[in-house]
Structure 1
Amino acid sequence: MRLLHTSDWHLGRSFHRVGLLDAQRAFLEHLVSVVRDHRVDAVLVAGDIYDRAVPPLPAVQLFDEVLHHLAALGTPAVMISGNHDSGRRLGVGAGLIGRAGIHLRTDPAGCATPVLLRDEHGEVACYGLPYLEPTLVRDHFAAGKAGHTQVLGAAMDQVRADLAGRPEGTRSVVLAHALVTGGAESDSERDITVGGVSSVPASVFDGVDYAALGHLHGCQTISDRVRYSGSPLAYSFSEAGHRKSMWLIDLGPHGEIDAERLDCPVPRPLARIRGRLEDLLADPALTRHTDSWVEATLTDSARPAEPMARLSARFAHVLSLAFDPQGAPPGERPSYAQRLRGRTDQQITEDFVTHVRSGREPDARERDVLGDALEAARAEENTR
């Protein structure tokens, strides 16, 4: 049986205030093409379909479109809710949608009720485990004050119990949305440490042929049978080195796994550049990044004038600017509060400029600008 494993679509999300709806549409069109061209038997979506519990209408419409395309191909899909999704909202109409072959698994009570898929070698029991927040589901699983490992382990115990009652040779797949020990995180995943230690051991999935995981945004292999597909798009600059892809999984007649990575469309490459402003503007090696989304970190000892505008002249899509001054004068300086005592407004503003520029004092022109600003502020105050 051929399965396409994907996750973490985060429909409705933006990238540093740049809308990604068109890029997300391009990915979903690519996904439908992969399903058709590679003759995929079922699509597995391991959570975080939306970016937030109440998604914007265009994101909902986009999700609706891809469901119609998959249903038109006659390709079943199994989808679970992630920690960004509202399970209850995503699951509305699941029974009716299921008749079209789109199986939404958003209720923890249904963890041990599989979607049964069939090929020439027999049945494949596909279990969908939605994101299990310990504080909300531990009573259901009789897990007391337990955390992620215990509640996910209890859900998997139910899966294994159901699987044990099925005909010999039934193959099994589990979808889960969790942080598994050994997985590499990025900056764009929402923290799930609430409810105890967040990571769970890969051994919790023992006994099934394949675990299709979601939550981490980097595609990675925990073991041959436990994998993350990662997000199809980059959602933070920490993902600049990611190769965005999906897993094409061939599940053999005896549970053998053959996995192939299929690349996703890249709307625009990411680049993280660092150095003095003048060097970044002149370095010929950075020419390859002129059309990338850019995160720039300036190491000038003093903040340059109009850095964003100057960077944008070379890197048209610079989205993030940070400062990490190098070479600031050594030694400890008095605290800002201490420097305020007994100072005039002019001296305080000049001290502030010196403080934020790592010790570089304002020049005569800058002092005049500060003085004019203070005078204007006083005039405004006097008119109230």
Structure 2
Amino acid sequence: MRILHTSDWHIGRTFHGHSTVAALAGVLDALVAQVREHAVDVVIVAGDVFDSATPAASAYRLLDDALLALHETGATVVMTSGNHDSAARLGFHSRLLRDGIHVLTDPLAIAAPVTVHDEHGPVHFYGVPYLEPAIVRQHWIDDERALRTQAQVMQHAMTLVRDGMTAHGGRSVAVAHCFAAGVDATAGLEREVRQGGLDLVPLSAFDGPDYVALGHIHGRQQLSERVRYSGAPLHYSFGEQHKQRGSWLVDLDAHGLASVEWLDLPVPRALVTLTGPLDEILSDENAARHADDWVCAVYTDAVPQHEPMRRLRERFPFCALVQHQPEGADTVDERSYTQRLRSAVSDVDRIEAFLEHVRAGHGATEREAELIREVLDDRVRAEALV
């Protein structure tokens, strides 16, 4: 059996205020083409199908188009909910999806698999939706005292999966949405992911199935030969710009996992970060090659520049983010700044200390010093008239 593991579509998410619906539609078209080209039997979407619990109409249309296109390839679709999308909204019409499209959002049905047959017999797919401990412990009342963390609820859920495996026999695949131990933190973490012990699920929790398809992390990850994250199909932040986009192509033979191959997906618009003084970024002779890229400009001038976004977009139409990070700012000692403030004998000294602190050691210019003195003198005169 051939399986395509994808996740974290985040339909409806914006990229620094720009809609990603059209770009994602093109990427999902390419994914459907891969399903057809590689004769995929089952497509897994491991959570966060939507970016919001209340998706816009355009998000529903894109999902409908994608599911219809996947259905037309002949592949079965197995989809679970994540922490961004609403299990209730994603699964509200799941009872109507009988013909090869399965939306698994019910924690009470974890042990009841979707079964797909090939020439070697059945393969059982167990869907584990994103599990919020405060919500799901009411369903598993006998374990209420124990189920306080994400690790505990996921371990309980995987126990249910293994119970299902015992009852049904045959090969098995688990689909889950969580933050597992061993993830490289540079792979593109979710905004809401906490890296503390509360949300960390040990790798041992996933023992049992022939393959475990995980979602929640936006960069591909291999935690073991059979436990993997596929990442998101589209770049959703500049922190992800160097991460490949794609899916895992998984083959099962009669005995279980046979092979796993990575399939790249196209990147509709490349992401690039340009760093340096603003004038240098604007005058770079190689800048033209980034005219069609999403640009994050990190300018290192000592002082903030006038209308940097407007100036950058004249050169880079798709400049999406501007950050002012003065060169050497990370070397400024917070403690010495506090001590200097305490020892300052005048407002001029305090202002100078502040400017040097936020400008990486660069104080007021001659003209700024004149303006500061004028403002302070005007304040003294005003107070004298009161």
Superposition deviation, residue 278 in structure 1? 2.9
* 8 Å CA contact retained: 1:224, 1:257: no
Aligned-partner Cα distance in 2 for 1:176–1:251: 19
Could you tell me how far 1:315 is from its partner in structure 2? 2.5
**Comparing 276-285 with 102-111, which one deviates more in the overlay?**
276-285
Match of 2:384 in 1: none
Residue 220 in structure 1 maps to residue 224 in structure 2: no
Q: Is the 8 A contact 1:350 1:362 kept in 2?
A: no
Once the two structures are overlaid, the 10-residue window that deviates more, 134-143 or 284-293, is 284-293
Q: Tell me the distance in 2 between the aligned counterparts of 1:113 and 1:193.
A: 30
Contact 1:230 1:245 in 2 (8 A): yes
Counterpart position of 1:23: 23
Instruction: Kindly provide the amino acid, as one letter, of the partner of residue 310 in structure 2.
Output: A
- The corresponding residue for 2:383 is none
Q: Deviations over 1:188-246 (max 9, x none)?
A: 51324499611111111111100000000001111110010100001111101100011
For 2:208, the aligned partner's letter is G
Name the CA distance, whole Å, in 1 between partners of 2:328 and 2:84.
Answer: 42
Matched residue of 1:58: which SS?
helix
Could you tell me whether the CA contact under 8 Å between 2:123 and 2:172 is conserved in 1?
A: yes
1:57-88: CA deviation from partner (whole Å, max 9, x where unpaired): 10011111112222333321100000001101
Contact 2:341 2:350 in 1 (8 A): no
**Paired amino acid for 2:67:** L
Q: Deviations over 1:126-149 (max 9, x none)?
A: 100001111111232343243112
Q: Which residue of 1 aligns with 2:128?
A: 129
Change (3 A) 1:361 1:257: same
Q: After alignment, is 272-281 or 217-226 more displaced?
A: 272-281
**Is the CA contact (8 Å cut-off) linking 2:79 and 2:104 kept in structure 1?**
yes
1:361 maps to which residue?
364
| C-alpha spacing 1:277/1:156, structure 2 compared with 1 (3 Å) | same
3-state SS, counterpart of residue 191 of structure 1: coil
Classify 1:145/1:284 alpha carbon distance in 2 versus 1 (closer, same or farther; 3 Å): farther
Task: Note the 1:90-109 alignment, pairs <5 A.
Answer: 90-97=90-97, 99-109=98-108
Superposition pairs of residues 1-384 of structure 1, within 5 angstroms: 1-97=1-97, 99-141=98-140, 142-143=142-143, 144-146=145-147, 147-167=149-169, 170-185=170-185, 189-193=190-194, 197-284=198-285, 288-326=289-327, 332=336, 357=359, 359-361=362-364, 364=367
In structure 1, distance between residues paired with 2:260 and 2:191:
28
Distance 2:183 2:196 in 1: 19
Letter of the structure 2 residue corresponding to residue 128 of structure 1: G
Moved more, 66-75 or 6-15: 66-75
Judging changes above 3 Å, is the alpha-carbon distance between structure 1 residues 336 and 187 closer, same or farther for their aligned structure 2 residues? farther
Q: Per-residue CA shift, 1:161-214, capped at 9, x if unaligned? A: 1211224xx110000001111112456513244996111111111111000000
Q: Given residue 183 of structure 1, which amino acid in structure 2 is its aligned partner?
A: V
Q: For the residues of structure 2 that align with 1:20 and 1:89, how far apart are their CA atoms? A: 21
| SS of equivalent residue, structure 1 residue 100 | coil
Conserved 8 A contact 2:41-2:74: no
Q: May I ask how many residue pairs the two structures share in their alignment?
A: 368
Structure 1 unaligned spans of 5+: 376-384
TM-score (norm. length: structure 1): 0.85
Q: Which runs of 5+ in 2 are unaligned?
A: 379-386
Aligned residues of 2:181 and 2:203 also touching (Cα < 8 A): yes
Instruction: Give the direction of change, closer, same or farther, for the CA distance of 1:58–1:188 in structure 2 (3 Å limit).
Output: farther
Residues 1:118 and 1:333: Cα distance change in structure 2 (over 3 Å):
closer
**Residues 343 and 201 of structure 1, relative CA distance in 2, 3 Å threshold:** closer
1:86-123 CA distances to partner (integer Å, 9 max, x unpaired)? 101111111111x1211000010010000000000000
Match of 2:130, SS? Answer: coil
Q: State the one-letter code of the partner of 1:178.
A: C
- Paired with 2:206 and 2:320, the residues of 1 have a C-alpha distance of 40
Give the SS at the match of 1:217. coil
1:380 maps to what in 2? none
- The AA in structure 1 aligned to 2:131 is L
Q: Does the C-alpha gap of structure 1 residues 354 and 223 become closer, same or farther in structure 2, counting only changes over 3 Å?
A: closer
Contact 1:47 1:214 in 2 (8 A): yes
Give the structure-2-normalised TM-score. Answer: 0.85
Letter of the 1:65 counterpart:
D
Name the CA shift for 1:370/1:290 in 2 (closer, same or farther; >3 Å): farther
User: Greater shift after overlay, 29-38 or 128-137?
Assistant: 29-38
Q: Tell me the C-alpha RMSD between the 2 structures.
A: 3.1
Whether the aligned pair in 1 keeps the contact of 2:245 and 2:264 (CA below 8 Å) is: yes
* CA gap 1:145/1:38 in 2 versus in 1, 3 angstroms: same
Identity of aligned residues (%): 43
CA distance in 1, matches of 2:35, 2:271: 28
